[in-house]
Structure 1
Amino acid sequence: MRSRNLLISGCDPGLAVLAGRVADRWAGQRVCWVSASSAAALAILARGEAHVAGAHLFDEEAREFNVPFVRRALAGRPMVVVTFAHLEEGFAVAPGNPRRIRKAEDIARPGVRFVNREPGAGARRLLDRLLRMAKVPASAVKGYDRLLGGHLQVSQAVAMGAADVGVVARSAAVAHGLHFIPLSEERFDLVFPKEWSGDPRAARMVETLEGRAFRRELASLGGYDTRQSGHLVTELP
Structure 2
Amino acid sequence: PIQGEGGVNLPSEGFLNGLRELANEHELLLIFDEVQTGCGRTGHWFAHQFFDVQPDIVTLAKSLCGGIAGGAMLASTEIASSLRPGMHATTFGGNPIAAAAGIAMIETIEEDGLIEHTQEAAQRFSEHLSDLQESCPRVREVRQAGVMIGIELEFPGADVVANCLNEGLLINCTQNNVIRILPAMNISLEQIDAGMQILSEAIIKQAAAT
User: One fold, TM greater than 0.5?
Assistant: no
The structure richer in strand per residue is 1
TM-score grouping bracket, smaller chain normalisation: under 0.3
Task: Pick 1 or 2: higher relative contact order, CA cutoff 8 A, min separation 6.
Answer: 1
Larger radius of gyration: 2
* TM-score normalised by length of structure 1: 0.23
The structure richer in helix per residue is 2
* TM-score normalised by length of structure 2: 0.25
